[in-house]
C-alpha cells in the first residue's frame, strides 16, 4: 500500500531519510570521538531508538520519567534524563527505574541534588551557558553543587552559544577532569567538535528534520523525513485553500527565521499563514496552478517533536510504499 | 483524594464550574428560543456531552468524523459535522454513520455537495460572513449551492462579525424560509440573539473557559474550570522560574488580546513568557514571594481545546476533591 492511499491527516516518515540522518550524525560523532546520545522526545518510538543505538549511539536521552519507563520496558538500559526530577512521587519512580536500568540525571539545584540521596543514579550538573532556561548560573556554582552529589559524572548544557567552552572549562579548572561533558541541539550538531570540550552529543530533531531545520540549515529538505499528509477541503477564493490539518495536526509551534506553519511540498509558493484547530489556511495566490478541492498535499511541519506529539501512530515508508505503522508509544507520557 | 496530590503536569476540570457554564449558556439559549448544539471538540468527552444534552442541548457538533464515530458509539444520535467532508474514504465513513445516527453536514462547494448523493444526511450551506476561512463567498452562491443538494436544511456560519445578519437574510430572500440558521463562537455566545436570525448556537470553549475567554470577557476567571497543574522544577535566578509544563502540556496556542502562554493562579503577577517542549519559562520578577522549587502552580491555559488535546485523561473534581478520572476518548481522532 502507498502513503497516497492513507486517509488524511496522517503522519508519515520516510525510513530512507531517517537512516541517512542517523548515519550522518553517527559518522560525525565517530569521526570526532564524541558519544551520541539521541533524544527520544522527538520520535517517542523504541523502534527508531533501536536503530539509533544499533548505528552506534551510546544510549538515549529522555525528557520525562514517563518516557524513561516506556523505553526501559522496551529494553533500553542506559538513559539520561535531561530534565530536573523534582517531587516525591517522581523521586520514587526514579528510584524504581534506577533499580533496573542505568540512569543519569541532570541536576541544577540543592533541592534536586538532596533528593537523590541513596538513589542509584549518576549525576550531571546542568549549566546555563547562555540560553537562559534551567541550569546553574556560574561555573563556581556548578563546582559547588558537584561537590554535594554522590555520583557526580560531569556537566550538561543546551544549546552551545558563544562562550560555552570557556564556561565549562572554568568548571573543570575547579573540579578537575570529568567523565562526561554533554551538549545538545540539532542546529549546531555538526560543529560541536569545535567546542573542543564536548564528549557527548544529545540531539533529537535530526532524525526527522523539520521546517526549522531547513531554515537553520541543519537538515536539507531532501533529508526531512516527516510529513503530515493533508487534503484540500475548501477553496473559497482564488487566493485561499483550506486543508484538513490545523493546530491539532501541525501544532502552533513557530519556526525561527521563517513564517507560517509548514512547508507544502507540492506547492512551494504557498504559505500556511494561519491555523485553527482543524483548518489550515493556505495562501495560494502565488501558485500558478493552485490546488483544487480533493487534492492531497504533503506538509513538512515547523517542529518535528511537536507535530509527532499530536498523533497516536506514525506510518513508516520507503519511497511512498508503506513499511509499517507504529504506535507512538511514549506519546502522552506527560509526567 | 485531592488534586493537590496528583503528579504533574496533570489536566483537571472543576465540575462545579463546568455545570455553571453549561447552565448559563443553556439558560441563555432557552430564554431566546435558540437551540444549543455544543461543540465537543473542546472536551472530547461523551460524559460531558451527556451533561450538555441533559441540560437541554439539541444535539452535538463535531469537527472530524473520528469524533463523530466515538460519540455515535457512545449513544449520541443527532450530530452536526461543521467541517467539509471531502474524499472517498471519508464519504464512505459518513455513509456508514448516517445509517445509524442522524447526521447533518456543512457544505461549501459543488464537490462537497455532489459527493453526498444518495447518502442519508441533512445539509447546511456554510457561509463565509466575514471570517475568511471556509464557506461560500456570497449569498447568491449560497442560494445556488442550496439548490443542488437533496436535503438542504439551512445555513451555517462562524463567527458572527458585523454584517452577518444581512448576509444570511439575503440568502433567505433567495431561497425562502429554512429550518436552521446555525452560528458559532464562545466570545459572542451571549449576544447571538441580537442577530435576530440565528436558530442554533454552536459553542465549545464555554464549557471549560480559558485565558482567551478571560481576555475577551466571555468566561470570568471564577468559571474557568480547566487547569494544568505543574511543578516549579528550577529557579535559576530571582527573575526566572521553570515549570514542568511546556508546549507539550499547554500548546503554543496564543490568546488574542494578551501575551504569554497561561495564567498562573497562585502568582497572578507572573508571566509564562516562553515555552519549550517540557519547560515553561516564567518571569517571576514582579512576584513579591516568587515560587520555590517544588511548589505547585495551577495554570489556566490560553486555549482549552488545544490544551485538552495534549492529554490522554482529565481529572474531574469538586473543590479540589477528585470525583473521577476520564479518558479523553476522542483525543487523537485526527481524521
User: Which tens digits make up the pLDDT trace of B239-298?
Assistant: 999 999 999 999 999 999 899 999 999 999 999 999 999 999 999 999 999 999 999 999
Q: Does B7 touch chain A (CB under 8 A)?
A: yes
> A261 pLDDT band (50/70/90 cuts)?
very high
Q: What's the pLDDT at B162? A: 96
Mean pLDDT, chain A, rounded, equals: 97
Q: Does B223 touch chain A (CB under 8 A)?
A: no
In chain B, what residues touch A3 (CB-CB under 8 Å)?
none
Q: What's the pLDDT at A103? A: 98
> A257 pLDDT band (50/70/90 cuts)?
confident
Smallest Cα distance from A30 to chain B, Å: 29
The model's pLDDT over B296-329, given as tens digits with 9 standing for 90+, comes to 999 999 999 999 999 999 999 999 999 999 999 9
Fold of the domain spanning B211-302: Lyase, Ornithine Decarboxylase; Chain A, domain 1 (2.40.37)
The model's pLDDT over B119-160, given as tens digits with 9 standing for 90+, comes to 999 999 999 999 999 999 999 999 999 999 999 999 999 999
* Secondary structure (DSSP) of A74-129: TT--EEEE-S---SHHHHHHHHHHHTTSEEEEEE-SHHHHHTTTT---EEEEEB-S
Q: Say whether pLDDT at A168 is over 90.
A: yes
For A150, B15, B159, B208, the CA distances from B321, given in Å and listed in that order, are 39, 10, 37, 18
Q: Does B159 touch chain A (CB under 8 A)?
A: no
Considering only residues 190 to 209 of chain B, which have any Cβ-Cβ distance to chain A shorter than 8 Å? none
**Mean pLDDT, residues B40-46:** 98
The model's pLDDT over B161-209, given as tens digits with 9 standing for 90+, comes to 999 999 999 999 999 999 999 999 999 999 999 999 999 999 999 999 9
A11 to chain B: nearest residue by CA?
Answer: B334
Considering only residues 18 to 47 of chain A, which have any Cβ-Cβ distance to chain B shorter than 8 Å? 41
By Cβ distance, the residue of A7, A63, A278 closest to B90 is A7
Fold of the domain spanning A15-207: TIM Barrel (3.20.20)
- A304 DSSP assignment: H
Closest CA to A149 of A180, A105, A92, A179: A105
Considering only residues 308 to 327 of chain B, which have any Cβ-Cβ distance to chain A shorter than 8 Å? 309-312
Smallest Cα distance from B22 to chain A, Å: 22
- Cα(B333)–Cα(B331) distance, rounded to whole angstroms? 5
The model's pLDDT over A297-306, given as tens digits with 9 standing for 90+, comes to 999 999 999 9
The structural architecture, per CATH, of the domain B16-207 is Alpha-Beta Barrel (3.20)
A-B Cβ pairs (cutoff 8 Å, strict): 158
Written as nine digits, the cell of A233 is 477541503
**Mean pLDDT, residues B25-50:** 98
Domain ranges for chain A, please list them: 15-207, 211-302
The model's pLDDT over A55-110, given as tens digits with 9 standing for 90+, comes to 999 999 999 999 999 999 999 999 999 999 999 999 999 999 999 999 999 999 99
Q: Does B68 touch chain A (CB under 8 A)?
A: no
By mean pLDDT, which of A208-212, B9-13, B132-136, B184-188 is the weakest?
B184-188
State percent of chain A over pLDDT 90: 99
| Identical topology for domains A15-207 and A211-302 | no
Cβ proximity of B133 and B124 under 8 Å: no
Amino acid at each position: 500500500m502507498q502513503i497516497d492511499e492513507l486517509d488524511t491527516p496522517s503522519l508519515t516518515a520516510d525510513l530512507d531519510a531517517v537512516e541517512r540522518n542517523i548515519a550522518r550524525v553517527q559518522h560525525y560523532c565517530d569521526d570526532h570521538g564524541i558519544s551520541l546520545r539521541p533524544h527520544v522526545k522527538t520520535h517517542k518510538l523504541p523502534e527508531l531508538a533501536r536503530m539509533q543505538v544499533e548505528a552506534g549511539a551510546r544510549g538515549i536521552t529522555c525528557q520525562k520519567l514517563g518516557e524513561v519507563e516506556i523505553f526501559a520496558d522496551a529494553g533500553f538500559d542506559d538513559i539520561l534524563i535531561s530534565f530536573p526530577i523534582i517531587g516525591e512521587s517522581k523521586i520514587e519512580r526514579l528510584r524504581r527505574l534506577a533499580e533496573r536500568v542505568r540512569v543519569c540525571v541532570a541536576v541544577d539545584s540543592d533541592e534536586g541534588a538532596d533528593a537523590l540521596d541513596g538513589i542509584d543514579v549518576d549525576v550531571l550538573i546542568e549549566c546555563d551557558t547562555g540560553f537562559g532556561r534551567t541550569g546553574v548560573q556560574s561555573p563556581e556554582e556548578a563546582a559547588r553543587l558537584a561537590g554535594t552529589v554522590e555520583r557526580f559524572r560531569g556537566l550538561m548544557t543546551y544549546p552551545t552559544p558563544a562562550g560555552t567552552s570557556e564556561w565549562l572549562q572554568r568548571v573543570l579548572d575547579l573540579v578537575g577532569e570529568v567523565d562526561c561533558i554533554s551538549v545538545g541541539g540539532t542546529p549546531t550538531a555538526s560543529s560541536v567538535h569545535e567546542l573542543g570540550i564536548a564528549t557527548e552529543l544529545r540531539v533529537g530533531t535530526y532524525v526527522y528534520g523539520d521546517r526549522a531545520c531547513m531554515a537553520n540549515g541543519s537538515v536539507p529538505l531532501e533529508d526531512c523525513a516527516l510529513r503530515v499528509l493533508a487534503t484540500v477541503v475548501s477553496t473559497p477564493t482564488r487566493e485561499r485553500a483550506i486543508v484538513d490539518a490545523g493546530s491539532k495536526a501541525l501544532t502552533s509551534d513557530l519556526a525561527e527565521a521563517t513564517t507560517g506553519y509548514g512547508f507544502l511540498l507540492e506547492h512551494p509558493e504557498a504559505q500556511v499563514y494561519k491555523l485553527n484547530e482543524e483548518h489550515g489556511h493556505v495562501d495560494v495566490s502565488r501558485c500558478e496552478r493552485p490546488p483544487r478541492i480533493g487534492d492531497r498535499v504533503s506538509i513538512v511541519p515547523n517542529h518535528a517533536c511537536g507535530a509527532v506529539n499530536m498523533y497516536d501512530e506514525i506510518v513508516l515508508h520507503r519511497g511512498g510504499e508503506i513499511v509499517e505503522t507504529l504506535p507512538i508509544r511514549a506519546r502522552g507520557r506527560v509526567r
